[in-house]
Structure 1
Amino acid sequence: MTEQQDTIKSRKKGIYLLPNLLTTAGLFSGFYAVIASMNDQFISASVAIFIAMIFDALDGRVARMTNTQSAFGAEYDSMSDMVSFGIAPALVVYNWALSDLGKIGWLAAFIFTAGAALRLARFNTTLDTADKNYFTGLASPAAAAIVAGMVWLGADYQIDLETFSFLAVIITILSGLLMVSNFRYSSFKEVDWKSRVPFIAVLLMVFVFVVVATEPALILFSLFSIYALSGPILTFRSVRELKNKEQNSVKTHVTDKD
């Protein structure tokens, strides 16, 4: 096959439109969040990051449903995630509360960004061998939701930044460190979304949407903070159960010998 034929074949392959369009929408949302924060529109910036999360959740599922997965799409999705969930949250929280703290402020933002980059790199390199039901380390969209939720909550309630800035530093750094931790987080992939559910489940979903709509900033920040805390709890519980099994097996082995 000639070089010209290879080029024609490559052009015919192209890229899949729908999943990459959703990825581009997520990338745009993350980029818009940065621009909005530079103009002191912090609520809009925070909402944009949550919108990016929705597009990020959709692009992969749409690709699988339509059988349009590709290596290009996977790489593009990772780069989009780095912007939307690594750079954007760090710059939004920096412009909101960390810029007046000098070196401490931008270092905290950098720790978050570096944590997101390392988290994405580790996820991509262990994708084929990792347990599908659990994430190792806090997922970058969840970490971004904590930071964006904090900014949204603070801007909505007009929190005094003179007293809150150092707490924002701690939350930002902890979110970044949790991404590169070895704590296990549920991926919720074991949930069968295609199965039938009772009618009351639909009513509960409506109720959840209503509750979130009443105080979205407070509820979203609280939910993702609880999820972040679930990782250490789940990990320590698993380690404790493993130790108990080992101790029981040793005792059983000693008893059998006697």
Structure 2
Amino acid sequence: MNDTQDPDDDLEPAEVPARPRRKGIYVLPNLFTLAALFGGFYAIVMAMNARFDQAAIGVFCAMVLDSLDGRVARMTNTQSAFGEQMDSLSDMVSFGAAPALIIYEWALKGLGKAGWAAAFIYCACAALRLARFNTNIGVVDRRFFQGLPSPAAAAMVTGFLWIMDDQGVRPDLLATPVLVWAAWGLTLFAGLTMVTNVPFYSFKDFGLKKSVPFVTLVIIALLMALISQHVPGMLFLLFLLYGLSGYVMYVYRKAKGKPVSVIATSTDEPDEAGLHH
């Protein structure tokens, strides 16, 4: 028998590394995100059943909820990478796929290839806009959006549908295709405006905790009174004006010789080199 001891026998067994603790998911902000996702899904289901007024309401409810989830996360200090990804996926359904499918079912179906092509362009532009927003979030001037925000684009498309449906107007009941082509043009306009470099005011410097002039509350009260007179019409008008405001700002800044790019003007960081030419 060999009595020679293996030198490895004196070594202590290697310690098993502790498994990293899984991070939990913040419930409160993600509840708002899930509710916004439900609004988009509900809108699609309603459109499939020709309940277009309910479909439009679903998209607008998703807009309200989408505007709250980020604010709730910041107020409660519950921001997370999971929440950011969840918010983007919810936006793609509620403001990308849902409006495209709703407007296709309502007006574009009868146009054949031209109809579904316009709906696809809108949906694709929403995806491209969300992807660009996520990748440029660190270098874009927070006072402006680079291109039309997807919720505003969705409000334009479904708002037009809502106001027509509220008046009892259906494209398939009209003898002339003017309304159909108007919906087609509006869908393309909203989709392509999302992927332009036109600056749109973001209202992010308007905080609830900041003091504002007294006249601001008067203007808000007047807007609420106007919207209550005819909700579909006023909401569509407001978002249509917002969709045109970016082009007005672009032309104005061009005429004044001011920079029109919303990319941050600071070039201190190496990664930002070349973004301002």
Q: Do Structure 1 and Structure 2 share a fold, with TM-score over 0.5?
A: yes
What displacement does 1:227 show? 0.5
Q: How many residues align?
A: 240
Cα 1:242–1:202 change in 2 (3 A) is closer
The partner residue of 2:245 within 230, 235, 240 is 230
Gaps of 5+ in 2: 1-14, 172-176, 260-277
What displacement does 1:25 show? 0.1
Gaps of 5+ in 1: 245-258
2:107 counterpart of 1:93: no
TM-score calculated relative to the size of structure 1: 0.88
What secondary structure does 1:185 align onto? strand
Cα 1:138–1:200 change in 2 (3 A) is closer
- The separation in 2 between residues aligned to 1:23 and 1:243, in whole angstroms, is 37
- The separation in 1 between residues aligned to 2:165 and 2:74, in whole angstroms, is 38
Structure with max Cα Rg: 2
- The separation in 2 between residues aligned to 1:4 and 1:106, in whole angstroms, is 54
What displacement does 1:157 show? 1.1
TM-score calculated relative to the size of structure 2: 0.82
* Larger displacement relative to structure 2 (193-202 or 149-158): 193-202
Residue 109 of structure 1: aligned partner: 119
Residue 123 of structure 1: aligned partner: 133
- The separation in 2 between residues aligned to 1:2 and 1:80, in whole angstroms, is 40
What displacement does 1:202 show? 4.1
Cα 1:102–1:76 change in 2 (3 A) is same
2:19 counterpart of 1:5: yes
- State the one-letter code of the partner of 1:241: K
What displacement does 1:198 show? 5.9
Residue 84 of structure 1: aligned partner: 94
Identity of aligned residues (%): 47
- State the one-letter code of the partner of 1:5: R
Residue 144 of structure 1: aligned partner: 154
What displacement does 1:203 show? 4.9
- The separation in 2 between residues aligned to 1:99 and 1:83, in whole angstroms, is 20
For residues 242-253 of structure 1, what are the structure 2 equivalents within 5 Å?
A: 242=257
Higher helix fraction (1 or 2):
1
What displacement does 1:4 show? 6.1
For residues 171-250 of structure 1, what are the structure 2 equivalents within 5 Å?
A: 171-197=186-212, 201-242=216-257
What displacement does 1:205 show? 3.0
For residues 45-84 of structure 1, what are the structure 2 equivalents within 5 Å?
A: 45-84=55-94
- State the one-letter code of the partner of 2:244: L
Cα 1:229–1:201 change in 2 (3 A) is closer
Cα 1:70–1:39 change in 2 (3 A) is same
Cα 1:2–1:240 change in 2 (3 A) is farther
What displacement does 1:2 show? 5.1
* Larger displacement relative to structure 2 (150-159 or 86-95): 150-159
- The separation in 2 between residues aligned to 1:126 and 1:208, in whole angstroms, is 33
- The separation in 2 between residues aligned to 1:209 and 1:243, in whole angstroms, is 34
Cα 1:56–1:243 change in 2 (3 A) is closer
- State the one-letter code of the partner of 1:121: A
* Larger displacement relative to structure 2 (209-218 or 48-57): 209-218
- The separation in 2 between residues aligned to 1:234 and 1:200, in whole angstroms, is 24
